[in-house]
Chains A and B, each alone.
Chain A
């Protein structure tokens, strides 16, 4: 799966980093960065949860077959 953060939408709420620190980190510029853009399937649920929780809906998780 691939994870992306839309930086134009991101406002630094940090829900993603709080939920899945293995996947996201909040920078000093108040923007989230994806730590691992192609993480293992074991982190799928966390990735999807972070995407759901983002108040701005800035996270996309694309599941590749």
Chain B
């Protein structure tokens, strides 16, 4: 069925499950309607922003394109029209504008710089190694081979362990926290939906996380440690501690963002390498290309599908009149396939240089965890390349039902491991 502007769909979570990202639709829009007013029944209309240059321009002007006017990632049904002003379920960096955003981000940004993260390198490498050791423990035959769900057994583990360690979440609580973050992001997915609706699931999980962190905060107030919970509990803005809602929301952000996205880049990266065996071979033969390969994995998988902004006033962009209060959805994976920026954008090429992808966004709200994500991805892929001889899919890729994060829920694979020396 040929695409038309009137009929193409960007917001149905089902197609993200069955077909993955709507690359054809985004390409169509980039060429025909690069700034497209998406107006359909049952969806609050928004501007679909599909061009790399426009996402940069919008992201560079946080005073014109606000984050605080709406919850920045879920498609809002038209029926919620009157609820725009109601209290957001969380209030963290994603929902803040200047000047407040600057104050809140500064509370933790020093822990996410390349320099600060160098101190974590040893621990991250050790966790990656232990994950692959675990695969060997389950492997059978000669050469050793193991069948597993790559998401549960590999991808999900490293980001969870690292962000939990940074926050100060004890190991015995990690599985529970992982389940809650699955429910926050994947509330629309039947596997994670525990309440009557996706929104309810997400909200209940948020409440569970809030309650958990309240307790942890109390413990850290009594006995501070060198973790991010202790840092945020002790933090002061204009001499005042953080209000409880914003404090809990901050943890919510760190634990959800620290879990969901890197996991999906890892899973998607493995799929890309399986589907492009010449690239796997090239990387194995040239380990110095790892950093470049990670950037290409980020561009290719682009786990965050969209964040939104709201126009602060009437303005013009790409010859279109945007009105105050209108929402814009920034489609990062589309920017990462923009033909005007990337040569042969639909080719997975680990040697791609330069690689100015926007998987982490750009500007004021650029991903706080970008350097951490890179550290984790390098660690896990270095370990996999060193010790996995061959990987193949043994079943269908199960995708997350979400229009926000491009998730792979389950990735059944057989991994043939290099014999231990």
Contacts and interface: CB of A to CB of B under 8 A. Distances in A.
Given A8-B102, A12-B115, A13-B371, A56 B364 contact: yes
A59 to B, nearest CB: 12
B114 A14 contact: yes
B18 interface: no
Interface string A26-37: 000010000000
Contacts of A9: 364
A44 interface: no
Contacts of A13: 113-114, 370-371
A8 B103 CA distance: 10
B410 interface: no
Tell which of A11, A12, A13, A55 has the most Cβ of chain B within 10 Å: A11
Contacts of B356: 52-53
Interface string B29-61: 000000000000000000000000000000110
A12 B113 contact: yes
A56 B112 CA distance: 13
B113 A56 contact: no
A53 B355 CA distance: 10
Interface in B338-378: 356, 360, 362-364, 366, 370-371
B176 interface: no
B109 interface: yes
Query: Interface majority SS on A: helix, strand, loop or mixed?
Result: loop
A52 B355 CA distance: 12
B362 A55 contact: yes
Contact of B362 (A8, A11, A57): A57
A53 B362 CA distance: 9
A8 B362 CA distance: 15
Contact of B363 (A8, A14, A30, A56): A56
Contacts, number: 34
Interface residues of A, number: 12
Tell which of B59, B60, B115 has the most Cβ of chain A within 10 Å: B115
Interface in A36-61: 52-53, 55-57
Contacts of B102: 8
B114 A57 contact: no
B115 A55 contact: no
A14 B102 CA distance: 19
Given A8-B102, A13-B371, A30-B110, A56 B366 contact: yes
Contacts of B115: 12, 30
Nearest to B367: A55
A29 B295 CA distance: 27
Interface string A2-30: 00000011011110000000000000001
Contacts of A8: 102
B109 A11 contact: yes
Interface in B155-170: none
Nearest to A30: B113
B114 A55 contact: no
A52 B356 CA distance: 9
B193 to A, nearest CB: 35
Nearest to A52: B356
Given A13-B370, A56-B363, A57-B60, 8 more contacts: A8-B102, A9-B364, A11-B112, A12-B115, A52-B356, A53-B356, A55-B370, A57-B366
Interface of B: 59-60, 102, 109-110, 112-116, 356, 360, 362-364, 366, 370-371
27 contacts: A8-B102, A9-B364, A11-B109, A11-B113, A12-B110, A12-B114, A12-B115, A13-B113, A13-B114, A13-B370, A30-B110, A30-B113, A30-B115, A52-B356, A53-B356, A55-B362, A55-B363, A55-B366, A56-B363, A56-B364, A56-B366, A57-B59, A57-B60, A57-B362, A57-B363, A57-B364, A57-B366
